[in-house]
Copies of this chain bind each other. A is one copy, B any other.
């Protein structure tokens, strides 16, 4: 009878335990979890605080009792693993309720202890109003504070996914929220112009987002609150502070185990999720993974990969049907108030930092047929290799349908598809779901046109850096221009362009723009046909420029 021990009882650990049971009815499977809960929905915690999820029990997907009954799995909550001994094939655990320490041997061991939120060494951060959010007890504490009615103002430190989800949910509880972020944008994994839409969204909902600033000190404030002093000199008072500036792997207990760790303390595994020690596997937030696009090791703490790794680790621990884990490229998504922001694969920043040649296009297609009620524009940025034409990544923002396009492009990247392949994807079209040419097709078309020299593009940043270099030609209708124009631009509506060619300079770089880039592309083709060869389309059009500079 095989004996499997698993450290950590949430996403990766419990997925592995459940799968092991299905692979081997006779095995002995024991899960060690230092917390009081297993199988809980970390990702749902912010929504419970925001009272979007109303019943606390919904957060707990399985209980130890049910896991025993249904899966014959022994779950030891409040049992922390203190050390492991690969040579002896054993671990040392402590029952946190009784204080008893004991050993347990294994045939195979899975390490799935996840990570914990980074607590920055800011003076004063041990104040009781300052919290992190990772577990159910964290959630209970924060929700109790909010339910108590004393939290009028909250400060969120860090504008990543969890920070902004919390900003949203605290707002839903009628709390004044300030978010402070060190970087010059929220959601640092996406590119600036995409994050700009998040900046606009949170502002529209009354969240005060302070970029390029950080907390240098906390001091006690009135009524049990704190005062945060920022690097900029500003001070912010808050009844509740949430620190959400990242996560670090829980590997302190492996210090003397001989298990190889990466530079930032993550467990290193091979593509079967095996560590360097015999019969010891690891999965979830705690491991380093291969990024399939950069081909470099990285750490991507997300629930999808953790769950999938758990299943693969189980298969490999069991051994009958080994599988490989082929890496994580960081497909991620968040709802920030009404806006969805999603991404997959490589961003511009990632390409730049890894010297990956790339180009990008930005489009603003409708989520579904424009004539069907409720259609709305989304913004989709596609990155691809100008050499191989392969899709490298995508980012999207919008009010519906973004998740679909991100998933389709994630699938395309996995399949090594080119932008040409994107144009051919045969999507499901009826007016409530898409257009005859889906946004994904459209992104492919636009990239194809750039690659094939039908159109040259400039980015909004090019204009910001070198305004004098360009003649800005606005080809929108006068009515469209009324909503705002780019400084220094000249307006010739597309319908008049063919008759007003002499107003377009031949000795300057002419940048055409319209609202999103579609009409400007048509205008650029008119000019190209008339022998203008210094003509560019502003990628993403006025929309992208406008949201990025304001």
List residues of chain A with CB under 8 Å of any chain B CB.
11, 21-26, 41, 43-44, 47, 52-54, 58-59, 61, 66, 69-72, 161, 165, 302-308, 311, 321, 326, 328-329, 331-335, 340, 342-344, 369-373, 403-404, 406-408, 410-412, 414-417, 421, 423-434, 436-438, 440-441, 445, 452, 454, 494-495, 498, 519, 521-522, 525-526, 528-530
Residues of chain B lying within 8 A (CB to CB) of residue A426:
304-305, 328-329, 331, 344, 410, 414
Check A529/B25 contact, CB under 8 A, given A41-B369, A44-B431: yes
Query: Does B304 contact A437, Cβ atoms closer than 8 Å?
Result: yes
A169 to B74, CA, bound (A): 55
CB distance from A135 to the nearest CB of B (A): 16
Query: Does B424 contact A71, Cβ atoms closer than 8 Å?
Result: no
CB closest chain-B residue, reference A22? B525
Check A424/B431 contact, CB under 8 A, given A53-B371, A72-B498: no
Residues of chain B lying within 8 A (CB to CB) of residue A425:
407, 410-411, 414
- Some 28 contacts from A to B, beta carbons below 8 A apart, are A11-B436, A25-B525, A25-B529, A25-B530, A43-B369, A52-B372, A53-B371, A53-B372, A58-B370, A70-B494, A304-B426, A304-B429, A304-B437, A304-B438, A331-B429, A332-B429, A333-B433, A335-B432, A344-B426, A403-B428, A403-B433, A404-B408, A407-B407, A407-B425, A407-B434, A407-B440, A410-B427, A415-B416
CB closest chain-B residue, reference A55? B371
Interface residue from B11, B59, B329, B369 paired with A44 (Cβ < 8 Å): B369
A172 to B316, CA, bound (A): 55
A441 to B438, CA, bound (A): 23
Query: Does A333 contact B44, Cβ atoms closer than 8 Å?
Result: no
Residues of chain B lying within 8 A (CB to CB) of residue A307:
436-437
Check A342/B525 contact, CB under 8 A, given A403-B434, A436-B307: no
Residues of chain B lying within 8 A (CB to CB) of residue A441:
308
A304 to B429, CA, bound (A): 7
Check A61/B371 contact, CB under 8 A, given A426-B414, A430-B334: yes
Residues of chain B lying within 8 A (CB to CB) of residue A416:
415
CB distance from A245 to the nearest CB of B (A): 19
Residues of chain B lying within 8 A (CB to CB) of residue A44:
369, 371-372, 431
Interface residue from B306, B342, B415, B519 paired with A436 (Cβ < 8 Å): B306
A445 to B423, CA, bound (A): 29
Residues of chain B lying within 8 A (CB to CB) of residue A321:
452
CB distance from A293 to the nearest CB of B (A): 11
